[in-house]
């Protein structure tokens, strides 16, 4: 049963020795960092979806055949605000934050129109320069710099995109590629972003970032959900899958009393399309490549071989899997977990 994995835990700020089964070579030294949800309620309020849990950072420090462990909750704006009020005040993917019960009826009504506080932490360029990892981080090992625990990057201050994926790709010279959506009067667009290498001593910023290429969705009002993309030596590969974001539903979700998750729909009547872009010129290759509908979160590998672009990924034929990751389902035993 995986129920213990979806229960709230306390952080472990001080290192503790880990129990080792087997043998760890003494020449392996360093830190292994992992991140995952570790808190699923504040006060009497409970999150609904596994993706909603507050981020708990885990550090495993390996030195001379021994391992120590410690953990700390990411001090994000959501975590701090929820902790301060001892209830969920920041809406997440599958959980809608309810208005403050202490407000008047009129105040609770107006709260439906308040813009959401951004909770997305974009780790892009700051993760490519190991020399800056230790500047201000008391753990001395993670890329969570700037204000001791995290650095929030506002892409819109540099380029006309609304956020970007958490899985950028890097060239050997330090050039970074990422993808992000933009929204305007003509609907949405998929954008490939290129960030040039930063000069030594100037810190990690997004200066010089530009949109290399914009790809129009097949339905601008319902763009595809994507979590990552593929990159080879010469090409960017973007998969437009029929897991759709209904922008109208998402924009009005708070007013309608629903979570963002309610605005995501699986539409298997549409195929999955592959867009291939020359990353040197920004040109979208002519032609159309499609497959049966599927959903993928992470690209495993992408490479060029004998004039072909090869893409490895783990995918699902059924796009309703997001519903399986509700906490209610994950805490069950039996057939419900078999689907997960």
Q: Which helix (H) or strand (E) holds 109?
A: helix 105-111
Q: Show the beta-strand stretches assigned E in 175-307.
A: 176-184, 187-195, 210-215, 230-231, 235-240, 243-245, 264-266, 272-278, 289-291, 295-305
- What distance in Å separates the CA atoms of residue 338 and residue 58, rounded to the nearest whole number? 28
Among all chains, which residue has been given the structure tokens 């969920």? 88
Burial profile 204-217: b = 16 or more Cβ within 10 angstroms, e = fewer: bebeebebbbebeb
**Residue 270 labelled as part of a binding site:** no
| Of 224, 225, 223, 235, residue with least CA distance to 311 | 235
**Per the structure block, which two tokens stand in for 304?**
């060029």
**Residue 227 labelled as part of a binding site:** yes
**Per the structure block, which two tokens stand in for 273?**
């399309």
13 exposure class (CB count in 10 Å sphere: 0-12, 13-18, 19+): exposed
Q: Contact at 8 Å (CB) between 161 and 191?
A: yes
Q: Show the beta-strand stretches assigned E in 152-271.
A: 169-170, 176-184, 187-195, 210-215, 230-231, 235-240, 243-245, 264-266
Contacts of 199 (CB under 8 A, 6+ apart): none
Strand partners of residue 274? 239, 289
Q: Contact at 8 Å (CB) between 270 and 217?
A: no
Q: Contact at 8 Å (CB) between 300 and 314?
A: yes
**Per the structure block, which two tokens stand in for 12?**
């472990």
- What distance in Å separates the CA atoms of residue 101 and residue 313, rounded to the nearest whole number? 46
For the annotated binding site, the residues are 167, 227, 298
- Going by the annotation, the residues of the binding site for Fe cation are 167, 227, 298
């Amino acid at each position: 049963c995986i129920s213990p994995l979806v229960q709230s835990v306390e952080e472990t700020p001080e290192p503790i020795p880990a129990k080792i089964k087997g043998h760890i070579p003494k020449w392996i030294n360093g830190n292994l960092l992992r991140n995952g949800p570790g808190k699923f309620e504040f006060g009497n309020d409970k999150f609904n979806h596994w993706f909603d849990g507050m981020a708990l950072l885990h550090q495993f420090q390996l030195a001379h055949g021994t391992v120590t462990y410690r953990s700390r909750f990411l001090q994000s704006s959501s975590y701090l605000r929820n902790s301060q009020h001892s209830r969920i005040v920041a809406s997440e993917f599958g959980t809608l934050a309810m208005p403050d019960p202490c407000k008047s009826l009129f105040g609770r009504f107006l709260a439906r129109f308040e813009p959401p506080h951004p909770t997305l932490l974009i780790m892009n360029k700051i993760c490519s320069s190991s020399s800056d990892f230790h500047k201000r981080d008391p753990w001395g090992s993670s890329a969570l710099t700037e204000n001791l625990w995290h650095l929030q990057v506002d892409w819109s201050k540099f380029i006309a995109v609304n956020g970007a994926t958490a899985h950028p790709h890097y060239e050997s010279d330090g050039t970074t590629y990422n993808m992000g959506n933009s929204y305007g009067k003509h609907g949405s667009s998929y954008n490939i972003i290129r960030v040039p290498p930063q000069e030594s001593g100037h810190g990690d910023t997004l200066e010089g970032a530009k949109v290399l290429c914009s790809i129009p969705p097949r339905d601008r009002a319902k763009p595809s959900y994507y979590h990552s993309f593929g990159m080879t030596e010469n090409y960017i590969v973007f998969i437009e899958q029929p897991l759709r974001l209904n922008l109208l539903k998402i924009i009005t979700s708070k007013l309608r009393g629903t979570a963002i998750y309610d605005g995501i729909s699986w539409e298997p009547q549409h195929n999955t399309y592959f867009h291939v872009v020359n990353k040197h010129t920004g040109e979208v290759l002519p032609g159309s490549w499609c497959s049966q509908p599927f959903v993928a979160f992470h690209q495993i590998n992408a490479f060029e071989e004998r004039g072909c672009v090869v893409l490895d990924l783990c995918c699902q034929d059924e796009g309703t899997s997001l519903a399986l990751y509700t906490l209610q389902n994950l805490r069950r035993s039996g057939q419900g977990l078999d689907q997960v």
